A and B are shown apart, each in its own frame.
Chain A
Amino acid sequence: MDQGKGMFLKMNEVLEILKKNSRFTDEEIAVMTGKSVTEVRQIIKDCEEQGIIAGYTTLVNWENTKNDDYITALIQVKVTPQRGEGFEKIAERIYKFDQVSACYLMSSGGFDLTVIVEGKSMKEVGLFVSEKLAVQEYVMGTATHFVLKKYKEHGTIFKEKEFDDREVIFL
């Protein structure tokens, strides 16, 4: 079987690199992929225009900032789909709030939308749910789950930096 050599499209390798670390420069990516800088720039530009690259972000582990006034909650929302609109309209009304960092339509018997909300305290998130989410027309119910500890996010494990403790061996 192909071991990934050549199986990845030109675009994919650039995307993989950026997904891992979006701070690599175009020049660095060009060297890493064996492409020209112009080619890399074109690929990135195309991806941005086509919405394949939807944005650039930094993965912050807020716990390590030592201020604990930062909390994430996962909220399950049960809604009644609207005729002709399905879930789109109600989802839009929810995801437009700044507090909502992610919103997914789920395939589940119990609820329909999963909403990730970030706030400064449990109280703030709770108020958001009761005052903004639960009261939306067509929202039939919510269940809020607070995140106590993040072990891994976006493929990155949150833990103390490990040091290379390999012993030297001659080979």
Chain B
Amino acid sequence: MKVEAMINEKVRNMPPSGIRRFFDLVHEMDDVISLGVGEPDFVTPWHVREAGIYSLEKGHTHYSSNAGFMELRHEISQYLNRRFALKYHPENEILVTVGGSEGIDLALRSLVGPGDEVIIPEPSFVAYQGCTAFTGATPKIIELKAENEFKLTADELAEAITPKTKVLIMPFPNNPTGAIMTRDELAPLVEILKDKDIFILSDEIYAELTYGEDHVSIASFEAIFEKTVVIHGFSKAYAMTGWRLGYACGHPAIIAAMTKIHQYAIMCSPTTAQYAAIEALKNGERAVAVMVREYNQRRRVLLDGFRKLGLECFEPLGAFYVFPSIKATGLSSDEFCERLLMSEKVLTVPGNAFGQCGEGFIRACYASSMENIKESLYRIARFLETLED
């Protein structure tokens, strides 16, 4: 028997990410400007790195409790209260995870199984569908619309709900569109959800990265607080992607269920990262503010650049992505990105990698230096000129 055929069917049938091909191409090219990878170009602030190093020097190299150091959970609790008016008890409502991604996986595995439906608004992070499928539950896609600036509307939500709906994923601020949801825009969704037995899995990993308007957590609505799991982490806000540290917050029963899986699969999150994260929460506000201000400047330059090139684009107010339409070029997203990469060595990601409704768009990440952004706009302009011939 072939080994391939022996692999778990659910995993075997999962298509590999369509974008892998691009990244393989990039690997063999020099001088590529990447607006592709969704991670900060900043290095973790020194005072945070230094705290991690110090913990190693002191020989703090052991496990923490399964849920994470109490001091860290305490800091998380205070931070969420200070920034988003959320109240979670460090003892039993917060679980420190290996990145926000683990939190998403744990929450889905704890909440759904075969026969359940998970509503996933798209375009969005690729892991939602994958993690849902691994549980045996069925992803139910809502195709968000460009004319709504890729926000989720009450009508779209109401239409997607069935008796089988168990979880709604709320991916805002959004990867890949940069869309955010304001309090006024969340309120009608809460009206629909408050009397239903539907969990809300709110992925707020980009919560610190909003521009002009502070992030509002859907968990701050009293009516649905108990049914909401908030996913957050250190990767995007503190430029700590490689440390792999995030956390999940929610009702004690949900966190207990998630902790059960976490303790068998992971035991506890890396402790060096936990020590560094304590420092990040205690003293990191200034560094975050500096990075956010810098992102905001790059955001405006990239958005302005795309618009001047005639690529239609709504103003993204969150995360670090711009999501322009490339429909005017007559190319598909795949063609556009591949030809742009091959001819001008600028890496962007086809919008359809984040769901079929992302077709006709590309994702450009502005977590790259201002020089890179300016140079890539110059190259994209040159690329667009060749299309006109």
Contact = CB atoms under 8 A, between A and B. Distances in A.
Interface of A: 1, 3-5, 8, 13, 16-17, 28, 31-34, 164, 166, 168-171
B37 A32 contact: no
A5 B304 CA distance: 20
B297 A33 contact: yes
Interface stretch (B187-195, B222-230, B284-292, B328-336): B284-292
Contact of B290 (A4, A33, A171): A4
Contacts of A1: 82-83, 285
Given A168-B36, A170-B19, A170-B20, A4 B301 contact: no
**DSSP class of A's interface residues: helix, strand, loop or mixed?**
loop
B297 A4 contact: no
A170 B126 contact: yes
Interface string B7-34: 0000000000101100100110000001
20 contacts: A1-B82, A5-B212, A13-B293, A16-B293, A17-B297, A32-B297, A32-B301, A33-B297, A164-B41, A166-B37, A168-B26, A168-B34, A168-B36, A168-B37, A169-B39, A170-B17, A170-B20, A170-B23, A171-B37, A171-B126
Nearest to A1: B285
B27 A168 contact: yes
Given A31-B301, A168-B34, 16 more contacts: A3-B214, A3-B292, A8-B293, A28-B301, A32-B298, A32-B300, A32-B301, A34-B300, A168-B27, A168-B37, A169-B37, A171-B37, A171-B39, A171-B125, A171-B126, A171-B127
Interface in B297-324: 297-298, 300-301, 304
A34 B41 CA distance: 23
Contacts of B297: 17, 32-33
Contacts of B289: 3-4
Q: In the A-B complex, list the 4 residue pairs whose CB atoms are closest, starting with the nearest.
A: A4-B289, A32-B297, A168-B23, A31-B304
Interface residues of B, number: 33
Nearest to B212: A5
Contacts of B212: 5
B38 interface: yes
Of A1, A3, A13, A166, chain B has the most CB atoms within 10 Å of the CB of A3
A1 to B, nearest CB: 6
A28 B292 CA distance: 18
Nearest to B305: A31
B211 interface: yes
A170 B285 CA distance: 28
Nearest to A169: B37
Nearest to B288: A3
Contact of B38 (A16, A28, A171): A171
